[in-house]
Chains A and B, each alone.
Chain A
Amino acid sequence: MSTIPLEHTMIGSDWHLPKRGVVGMCALIVAESAMFTIFVVAYIYYIGKSSFGPTPRQVLHVPVLGTICLLSSSIFIWLAEREIHRARMSRFKVLWGITCLLAAVFLSGTAQEWYRLIFHEGLTVRTNLFGTTFYSLVGLHAAHVTVGLTILTLVLIFALANRVRPEHAYQVQVFSLYWHFVDVVWVVVFTTVYIVGR
């Protein structure tokens, strides 16, 4: 054989590799999922094991408004993503702004709930096992929402200053993966704490 097959017939224009941002974000999501799983397991393990102090049934109110807001923020961020892919920047700004608002409503709902639990119901991290696991799990999720909201707000500010361009659609797509992840985690946390745990 005199010819060296330096190139396979398949490659050239057919060589496609996944995009870095998406793969990296998915890897991060895998790691975060593992962490949340452990907190959920701890929560479930300690359900009913508090021998004193307030119980979930006594003090927890289902956060309907916050949940609706957070879950619908996923829809709005998806819509915003569509708009930036189509280079319709003004619609993108509006939809992105609504996403921010919904996230902020969720967080303030959590803050109000915690205020009520701590000052009116006497439930803190150190009260009993329920207190420890509740604040840790919900708090961990809220921390992730806070990080997401911070990035959402930053992007909103840049967008309002006309610095966000259609070329940034990819970065928006990568971030929205994170945001969807946060929402999915809320579904799990919500089910564990407010449905199963009560």
Chain B
Amino acid sequence: MADASIPVPGNVGEAVDITPPGEFKGTWLEYAHSWIVTVDHKRIGILYIGLGLFFLVVAGIEALLIRIQLIRPLSNFVSPDSYNRLFTLHGTTMVFLVGMPILFGFGNYLIPLMIGARDMAFPRLNAFSFWVSAFAGFLLYYSLVGGEGLAGAGSAPDVGWFAYAPLTELAFSPGHSTDYWTLAVLLNGIGSIGTAVNIITTTFCMRCKGMTLMRMPLLPWLYITMSTLVLLAISPLTAAQIMLLVDRYLGGHFFDTQAGGSALLWFHFFWIFGHPEVYVLVLPAFAFANEIVPTFSRKAIFGYAAMVVASVGIAFISLSVWAHHMFTVGMTSVSNTFFVLSTMMVSIPTGIKVFNWLATMWGGRIRFTLPMLFTTAFLFQWVVAGLTGIILAVAPFDWQVHFSYFLISHFHYVLVGAIVFMIFAAFYYWYPKATGRMLNERLGRLHFWLMLIGFHLTFDFMFIVGLLGMPRQIYTYMPDRPWTTLNQIISVGAFLQGLAILIFVYNLFYSYSHGKKAGPDPWDAWTLEWATSSPPAPYNFETEPVVASRRPLWDLKHPEDPDSAYE
């Protein structure tokens, strides 16, 4: 069977029909309707990403309001209860309504394309998961008008994004604000589990011919791992939230300490979810790096098998480290020591990944395109994120800096410095594929530099103010604390980042109509998604591709030196 099952790049236009899908023929309303009822993984991916971007701006505004309040001591820019609502919403939105949707969106869009499939395994479940998540977002923010909390008209939850009990019990949180948090996050979790089921099933059951698991691009591997973590981690949170609802609505006592319940139980259940959750968020960032670093270093990823084992290892170990968020709750010395060990062990496979990226770049011909710029920044920042994690894993030191701004800076180094930077890299890399246009280069560079400077102004100095004893979640501080100047620097950086993100969002819209046209393969890459038109046809591939190695397009572009000869 010598028919060209894979489109030949270089002369792609001649070999296969790669005309982008035609203009939509119908009214504006029909067009909008087609998006609402779509089950196409590409459209659902874009919907997810759109949802996430919208909430990124919302949660970003919350962050800026927080930073204005902290510019000077004893500020009354916002009231104490409003402040508590701001950081609760900021954290909850960023994790559940920005991070998860954007990362699921990229996964949805890319995985079928990368494995040569036509769509996800369960397209209708895919659509359902998205709409449930979108509704959850709406529910959470409806609390602003419908919440009826303590201090008056309409109030959002104010108990922190991890909603420690018994503060969340009826006695201490009357009204409905906590219920909005509980229900919104619970619904969002159901959507997440649906998408995770979909991702796992798709990658196991719908790969094109020849694509064994060890020939899959690393992105689907990391998404399988991340989805497995979602299955194992979101359910404990769902369980804990059901228990909280039983307490609040049925008079139960799961976390009702006045009746013998345990505050500690919520700690354990939440962090059994919470720790794997951060790996759920970071593994897709690693997935993007696994695709972008090789393309722009012009080399195959160094140590593919080790990368697979390390990624699975990270996920596996991450299930055993949760109580490092609880070093201060008074566990025994033996328990504390165990969690120190398990947490430090996570650094081994994580380090392997960093070294492998470095080795991929080593000996390459690195092109500093916008995706690579953001990825390079990610590499530097991930080193700090990981190492400050090791510092926090040292339990006695954590007894000092836990719940201080040192901790906040560590996890923002992970969430922003690693994950958000890689999300930006992924945008610059795959936007041409999804839209057929390149993102504007000048705006992109401006975005990058503003983001980099703002990020470091904020989070490098935040480490210091944490080491100087500033705890988190305080609406103000006394003038005799040595924190004012540092807080001002941090706030300036926050505004720079806000500006950078606005420029980026503008770029997304501007380039849709004004961007330079991109062909099917603007970056000269090697995985299957670059063998389709930009944007791909709704059916993705004309015929099912057949692959013989990890880099099918490399094989076609370099017939004298195909990967299949080495595997």
Q: A residues near B, CB below 8 A?
A: 1-2, 4-8, 10-12, 15, 17-20, 23-24, 27-28, 30-39, 42, 45-46, 49-51, 124-126, 128-129, 132-133, 136, 140
Contacts and interface: CB of A to CB of B under 8 A. Distances in A.
B562 A35 contact: no
Given A20-B206, A28-B197, A129-B259, A34 B265 contact: no
11 contacts: A5-B562, A7-B209, A23-B201, A24-B198, A27-B196, A27-B200, A31-B232, A32-B235, A34-B239, A36-B239, A126-B252
Interface string B327-352: 00000000000000000000000000
A38 B234 contact: no
Interface string B239-266: 1101100110011111000011110010
Contacts of B492: none
Contacts of A125: 246, 250-252
A112 B448 CA distance: 65
A25 to B, nearest CB: 9
A45 B265 contact: yes
B235 A34 contact: yes
B252 A30 contact: no
A30 B228 CA distance: 9
A35 B239 contact: yes
Interface in B539-565: 546, 548, 555-556, 559-560, 562, 564-565
Contacts of A8: 210, 548, 564
A46 to B, nearest CB: 8
A4 B555 contact: yes
Interface of B: 1-2, 4-6, 121-122, 193, 196-198, 200-201, 204-207, 209-210, 227-228, 231-236, 238-240, 242-243, 246-247, 250-254, 259-262, 265, 269, 272, 546, 548, 555-556, 559-560, 562, 564-565
Nearest to B563: A5
Given A11-B546, A45-B265, A35 B210 contact: no
Nearest to B233: A34
A32 B233 CA distance: 11
Given A132-B254, A136-B254, 13 more contacts: A1-B560, A6-B4, A7-B5, A7-B209, A10-B210, A18-B204, A20-B205, A34-B239, A37-B236, A49-B260, A128-B253, A128-B260, A133-B254
B89 to A, nearest CB: 26
Contacts of B228: 30
Nearest to A38: B239
B206 A17 contact: yes
A45 B206 CA distance: 43
| Residue from A2, A28, A36, A50 having most chain B Cβ neighbours under 10 A | A28
A5 B549 CA distance: 9
A42 B560 contact: no
Main secondary structure of the interface of B (DSSP, over half): helix
B231 A34 contact: yes
Given A42-B254, A125-B246, A34 B232 contact: yes
A136 B242 contact: yes
Contact of B559 (A4, A37, A49, A128): A4
A15 B546 CA distance: 11
Contacts of A51: 260
B252 A24 contact: no
Contacts of B261: 129
B254 A15 contact: no
A106 to B, nearest CB: 22
| Residue from B200, B231, B251, B265 having most chain A Cβ neighbours under 10 A | B231
Nearest to B3: A6
Given A23-B204, A126-B252, A136 B236 contact: no
Nearest to A40: B239
A38 to B, nearest CB: 4
A133 to B, nearest CB: 7
B197 A27 contact: yes
Nearest to A7: B546
A129 B238 CA distance: 20
B555 A19 contact: no
Nearest to A130: B253
A34 B337 CA distance: 25
Contact of A38 (B235, B546, B565): B235
A24 B129 CA distance: 14
Nearest to B120: A20
B260 A129 contact: yes
B122 A20 contact: yes
A6 B546 contact: yes
A20 B209 contact: no
A6 B6 contact: yes
A150 to B, nearest CB: 18
Contacts of A2: 559
B564 A27 contact: no
B205 A129 contact: no
Nearest to A49: B260
B188 to A, nearest CB: 14
A128 B254 CA distance: 10
B207 A17 contact: yes
Given A5-B564, A49-B260, A30 B205 contact: no
A4 B122 CA distance: 35
Contacts of A38: 235-236, 239-240, 269, 272
A76 to B, nearest CB: 28
Contact of A132 (B5, B204, B246): B246
A6 B565 CA distance: 12
B255 to A, nearest CB: 10
Contact of A30 (B6, B231, B555, B565): B231
A17 B209 CA distance: 10
A31 B228 CA distance: 9
A27 B562 CA distance: 36
A20 B251 contact: no
Given A38-B240, A129-B261, A31 B253 contact: no
